[in-house]
Structure 1
């Protein structure tokens, strides 16, 4: 059973199936899809579509676990809420901090810098540090204010950016299909366990982020129905779009795809639409990055809010705005950290930790599914349940462990240090609470 105090959150329930589906699409289709098609093709060539199918199956296994967990809670916090309920406050504290800081803040700062670098094409002044900092303040401050004033504002922004990135991508796929050369789709590289494994580790990161909108559990209408439907529709749409983009990119660029590893879609757009194609896809990239930031600032502060609500984070983070009914302190705090890291940059090692963090959190959520399945639900409470007993959660767990095994020793060591550091903070907080 999930948190019974969820009814006391005083948040507005504004997120339905359409909004959650679009939020998942928006959050999953980020900056990676504008680069990954070439990186995957370098490893597997035209056979790269196999990796998409493999990753699609794997992400659906994990998503099924999230659907079961999400349908059982009406509280905010998402993956933190699931893990804390299953394994207690210590596991909840680690999940909360590993996720919002390790997997979100750092990636937001990276996206903001990528956004500034992309816009330098139109605004060379962003090479200047002062203008760059002002730009970061405008972006983080503007999106934070939008979300503080109303969760509806945040949802509408997500819906706008979701359509704003999807329409150009769909146009590129539809028009680009007529430029495909069949010879470019011939398999010249044989898929093996090794090359599929290495490619899947990279591509899997392009599917990460679908769980972020579930952090708004306290603002989701009828979660028993909305969460499973939103997850299934969102991920299905993402998989179809990814496959179409990969096919068009490979089919148009063929053997030259390796020469366009930094911006394969821009290269395709240049061939399909001429000189205006680069501008066309650049605008889509900017909208995609803004949407990713907007989705994070909409959802991740709810994890901070949930942690504060349960006494694992400073109490101020659980404050609700008296007029707008949003966790405004948590939103301001989260956006400010993203701004700080964006300004100072230099966090390459932290970016590696962010990737490993997401996998650890997914593993925790799958284990939570198994634990809470044993606890059961009241007979009167009808919630979504993953079919096949423990089979799917165990398969999902095996997949995550397999992906983690592909991390380098340095990445694994960084993750261990990260967990040890937050464990020390947790037990220090417990000692201080007893003393005072």
Structure 2
């Protein structure tokens, strides 16, 4: 619940993030490891018609980001979607949104870790076997957990380098690869079935997610009513253009071979640029994903720390290292959870679970946008307005519902089970949390 203490805490934050800074943050968080693998997944499901799935995701995200823009321009509190939902509907829905945010981060981190291991194996063949893959994951998470336990500064050093290493090779492939496209490889016969398109889109939307994380520091954004909508729009146009362009290059260069590729962009670079191009993309992918995994290993455990601190989970999770002053127990527990998921699951399985959680979170934010507008909640300044603002959240919900029709029963059971457990925890700890607050 946002009380007077929360308000004072928020007012002490420096509002320094502008349009370009926030847009760059969204692009950096969104363009992660997924794009290095997803063109193959989309092609295997839809063949030459795969670009349609990108367009579906772009339309879906366009509606969703309008909801984020509306909600973000009305709520200036730190927490992003968690704050939007809590302000709109109260503590329990807000808590569930926070749990979903943690679930998204956990599954997404595990999914990207699998691509990281595969890319490293492609770059260094000796690390390409299944046993070596497990060892790589063990070493990486042990090392990153140790680094992040030692301090926040050490855990964030790689981010700037990773951003440059990620974007420059992709831009190079996009520009040079366009000249190596063979037109027949882009041809496709007939329109895909709606169910196949939905299933492909539910996987592909993994590459478009990230806004929910980039908007968490809303309490540090200046002029939220103007900055958040413009930054989201600028970032989404950039991301969508790059994704569609990269897929068309990969499909146009590799043709039918794209669907079977474990490293599609690297393989396309090998054809368009030669062996050095493949190496460049693989190195960029490895550095990029290592930066992502490192950054998420820094960020995601803080959710467990907060849940322990606030009395929802054992207080041991809120322990702070006496020397390094970091949430070392939460970091270790989170790393073990993600490691287990990465070893036992495939990228597609983990990405779908992350996307299911993401879409449920997006649906909650769409409803929150409608409710905040209905109650005329304002954060200062004129809230962001779009044509048919009352209709947009329900259009977003309709698209989300269609995408969710492709989710299988066992996938629903995993995420549904997490939500049920979260509800039980919320009510089971209510007495203890209330007594602690009163004390």
Decide whether aligned partners of structure 1 residues 381 and 309 sit closer, same or farther in structure 2, where only a CA change above 3 A counts: farther
Residue 53 (structure 1) shift: 1.6
User: What does residue 272 of structure 2 align with?
Assistant: 272
Q: Distance in 2 between matches of 1:223 and 1:145?
A: 34
Q: Which residue of 1 aligns with 2:79?
A: 77
Distance in 2, matches of 1:214 and 1:352, equals 22
Per-residue deviation, 1:278: 2.6
Residue 160 to residue 64, structure 1, CA distance change in 2 (3 Å): farther
Aligned partners of 1:212 and 1:299 also within 8 Å:
no
Deviation per CA, 1:281-316: give whole Å up to 9, x if none: 111111321343355356656766877898767899
Q: Distance in 2 between matches of 1:347 and 1:11?
A: 41
Report Cα offsets for 1:172-224 as digits up to 9, x if no partner.
11111111111212222434433322322222222112221111223333333
Aligned pairs for 1:12-411 within 5 A: 12-100=14-102, 102-120=103-121, 121-122=123-124, 124=126, 127=132, 133-142=138-147, 148-149=152-153, 154=156, 157-260=158-261, 262-296=262-296, 300=300, 335-345=331-341, 346-348=343-345, 353-377=353-377, 381-411=381-411
1:357 positional shift = 1.3
Partner in structure 1 of residue 416 of structure 2? 416
Distance in 1, matches of 2:314 and 2:76, equals 22
User: Which whole-Å CA distance do the structure 2 matches of 1:272 and 1:370 have between them?
Assistant: 47
Structure 1 unmatched runs, 5+? none
Q: Give me the whole-angstrom Cα distance separating, in 2, the residues matched to 1:329 and 1:180.
A: 50
CA distance, structure 2, for counterparts of residue 263 and residue 378 of structure 1: 46
Question: TM-score scaled to structure 2, two decimals?
Answer: 0.84
Report if aligned partners of 1:173, 1:244 keep a CA contact under 8 Å in 2. yes
Q: TM-score, normalised by structure 1?
A: 0.84
Q: Go from structure 1 to structure 2 and tell me whether the alpha carbon gap of 1:425 and 1:2 turns closer, same or farther (over 3 Å shift).
A: closer
| 1:1-60 deviations in Å (ceiling 9; x for gaps) | 987734414445453333322221122222221122122223333332222122111101
C-alpha separation in 1, matches of 2:286 and 2:186: 30
Give the C-alpha shift of residue 109 in structure 1: 3.5
Query: Where has structure 1 moved over 6 Å in runs of 4 or more?
Result: 1-4, 128-131, 304-321
SS of alignment partner, residue 278 of structure 2:
helix
When residues 133 and 104 of structure 1 are mapped into structure 2, their CA distance, relative to the original with a 3 A threshold, is same
Deviation of 1:139 after TM superposition, in Å, equals 2.7
Change (3 A) 1:336 1:278: same
Say whether the 8 Å CA contact 2:302–2:330 is kept in structure 1.
no
How many angstroms apart in 2 are the aligned matches of 1:320 and 1:71?
A: 35
Deviations 1:347-395 (A, max 9, x none): 5377654332111111111111111111103596322233313111110
Give the match's secondary structure for 2:406. Answer: coil
Gap change, CA 1:187 and 1:135, over 3 Å in 2? closer
Q: CA deviation at 1:231?
A: 1.2
> Is the aligned partner of 1:8 residue 2:9?
yes
Q: Secondary structure at the match of 2:413?
A: helix
Report the equivalent of 2:429.
429
1:112: Cα distance to partner? Answer: 3.4
Task: Give the direction of change, closer, same or farther, for the CA distance of 1:387–1:305 in structure 2 (3 Å limit).
Answer: farther
8 A Cα contact 1:308 1:316, kept in partner: yes
Is the contact between residue 78 and residue 219 of structure 2 (CA under 8 Å) also seen in structure 1? yes
Contact kept? 2:301, 2:334, Cα under 8 Å: no
Displacement of 1:122 in angstroms is 3.6
Which stretch shows the higher mean deviation, 234-243 or 19-28? 19-28
Q: How many angstroms apart in 2 are the aligned matches of 1:309 and 1:382?
A: 36
- The 8 Å contact of residues 24 and 211 in structure 1, kept in 2 or not, is answered as no
Distance 1:82 1:297, change over 3 A: farther
Matched length: 424
The whole-number CA distance in structure 2 between the counterparts of 1:344 and 1:430 is: 31
Do 1:45 and 1:188's aligned partners in 2 also have CA atoms closer than 8 Å? no
